[in-house]
Amino acid sequence: MAGADKLYTPELLALAVALADYPADPAMPLHGQARSKSCGSTLAADFAVDEAGRIERLGLQVRACAVGQASAAIFARAAPGRDLASIEATHAALTAWLAGTGGLPDWPGLAAIAPAREFPARHGAIMLPWTAAREALSGAAAES
């Protein structure tokens, strides 16, 4: 399978389309942003959390390649119920995995973007949702 064919699978492309299920909502109280230095992709995230700081609802505005869009959809599907500690742990595990020093993190659906590990220019786009969530949830933790 050629490089692009291995990366842009039907599953990955379907995930990119799934972002329509998570529209941005600036009325939510928490907001985070991230930008990939390697490709310029951006993601803005809106969150509502419960009294324990767990994500209840989220909305995303993603301007990224299909890999970044798929990563955002994977994040969005499994983010409800997660707190800052979970987001930070997954962010660290993703960073290690992309650097080749750790295994694929335990986050449902990440196997769909596993082929992107071989494309370093896509690594920043993969990290966008976790980076934006850390920013937003860190702000909420600081206010508590």
Residues 37 and 121 sit within 8 Å (Cβ to Cβ): no
pLDDT for 72-87, tens place per residue? Answer: 999 999 999 999 999 9
Give yes or no for residue 3 having a pLDDT over 90: no
- CA-CA-CA-CA dihedral for 58, 62, 65, 67, to nearest 10: -10
How confident is the model at residue 1, as a pLDDT?
A: 46
- The CATH number of 3-143, from 3.40.50.970, 3.90.1010.10, 1.20.1260.10, 3.40.50.300, is 3.90.1010.10
pLDDT exceeds 80 at position 58: yes
Q: Using 50, 70 and 90 to split pLDDT, how confident is the model at 117? A: very high
For 16, 107, 128, 138, the CA distances from 87, given in Å and listed in that order, are 21, 10, 12, 10
Contact present, 140 and 86 (Cβ < 8 Å): no
Give yes or no for residue 124 having a pLDDT over 80: yes
